[in-house]
Chain A
Amino acid sequence: MLDPRRGSEEDLIARLRAGEPAAFAGLVDDLQGRLLAFAGTFTTSPALAEDIVQETWLGVIRGLPAFEGRSSLRTWIFSILVRRARTLATRESRRATSPNGADPAASEWDMGRGRHGLWDSAPVPWGLEDPAALFQTHEALEVVRAAVAALPEGQRQAVLLRDVEDLPATDVCNILGITETNQRVLLHRGRSRIRRALDRYVREDGGAVRERAALGGAPGARSAFSTEDP
């Protein structure tokens, strides 16, 4: 099957530029859900998110003849989405969150300064003999999915592009128009929250993960205290 991440991207681009409908259909099917998830970081309206993605695809069709492949196809498409989203979503000016997710609740950490009382409450090892159980367990994946969905938009955008999509860090900066430092802060805060959600799940509720990866270590590893982030 067509998957833009496998096989030759050059070949896919050539087929798209040659107007091969199957190549375009494959690209749309592969990316639609992921673009929709990303568009959802710009608006609270599912209908507007759909519009943003549809506009993005129209932009892709218009831009293909001039696309030079200087960035990857996915990076180019996500960049188009950001431009469309910023145009369309500013009309829906109801949202009050700041674009980079600088919410006060997330300011427990500052680059280079740490947090006062660093490791007041040290993280407790999860004690999973096989940590792969985490990403093979439906329940744990759902915990992570919900934690991502709950992130402030700037953090969610950075985490979706850098971790979920696994795009190169420089591409993520370019797509979002942010500096490397800004990206690092957003990722740190976003990942901290997701780690905390996983921590809570593994130590309080992680039945399915425990079944899959026998919890080793001392009974202390099951402490119900939630650890804080630096």
Chain B
Amino acid sequence: MNAKNEEMGCIEAIDVMGIAAEDRLEPGLVAGFEEHLAECRSCATYYDQLRHTRQTLRSLPRDDRPSHPGRQALLDHFRKQFGGDAS
């Protein structure tokens, strides 16, 4: 990316938006990205919604399945493999 010392436009901003939402934006691009968001309402809105989308994905409740058909077989197999007691 050659935008380090140049103004960032919508296309460049959208290219790095996902990375920015993951807090992984290259330090050299942060200032340009933030400047663009300050000037571009559409990108700022989209970025905001992208961050909230990711946050919501991270908050999806776990689909825990404490008992499933193969569970006991797995535990038996584990005990056998590691030579544990067969109780």
Q: Which residues of A come within 8 Å of B, CB atoms?
A: 18-21, 24-25, 28-30, 32-34, 36-37, 50, 53-54, 57-58, 61-62, 109, 111-114, 118-119, 122-126, 131, 134-136, 140-141, 144-145, 148, 159, 162-164, 166, 169, 184, 187-188, 191, 194-195, 198-199, 229-230
B57 in the interface (beta carbon within 8 A) = yes
Chain A residue at smallest Cβ distance from B83: A19
Min Cβ gap A102→B in Å is: 17
Write 10 A-B pairs (CB below 8 A) sorted by A numbering: A19-B84, A34-B62, A54-B73, A112-B11, A140-B56, A163-B57, A163-B58, A164-B57, A184-B19, A194-B57
Chain B 54-83 residues near chain A, CB threshold 8 A: 54-66, 68-71, 73-75, 77-79, 81-83
Beta-carbon contact of A135 and B59 below 8 Å: yes
Chain B residue at smallest Cβ distance from A54: B70
For this complex, into which size category does the number of interface residues on chain B fall?
Answer: 35 or more
Min Cβ gap B83→A in Å is: 7
B residues in contact with A198, CB < 8 Å: 49, 52-53, 56
Beta-carbon contact of A184 and B42 below 8 Å: no
Q: Which residues of B come within 8 Å of A, CB atoms?
A: 10-11, 14-15, 17-19, 21-22, 24, 41-43, 45-46, 48-50, 52-66, 68-71, 73-75, 77-79, 81-84
Task: State in angstroms the CA–CA spacing of A101 and B74 once bound together.
Answer: 33
Task: State in angstroms the CA–CA spacing of A135 and B41 once bound together.
Answer: 24
B residues in contact with A162, CB < 8 Å: 22
Known: A30-B64, A124-B45. A144 touches B19 (CB 8 A): no
Beta-carbon contact of B78 and A24 below 8 Å: yes
B residues in contact with A164, CB < 8 Å: 57-58, 60
Min Cβ gap A64→B in Å is: 8
Beta-carbon contact of A191 and B10 below 8 Å: no
Chain B residue at smallest Cβ distance from A198: B53
Q: DSSP majority for the B interface? A: helix
Beta-carbon contact of B10 and A163 below 8 Å: no
Beta-carbon contact of A191 and B64 below 8 Å: no
Beta-carbon contact of A230 and B10 below 8 Å: yes
Task: State in angstroms the CA–CA spacing of A62 and B71 once bound together.
Answer: 16
A residues in contact with B53, CB < 8 Å: 144, 191, 194-195, 198
Task: State in angstroms the CA–CA spacing of A125 and B43 once bound together.
Answer: 11
Query: Which of these, B46, B61, B70, contacts A50 with CB under 8 Å?
Result: B70
Beta-carbon contact of A114 and B14 below 8 Å: yes
Chain A residue at smallest Cβ distance from B69: A50
B residues in contact with A123, CB < 8 Å: 42, 45-46, 49
A residues in contact with B43, CB < 8 Å: 119
Beta-carbon contact of A61 and B49 below 8 Å: no
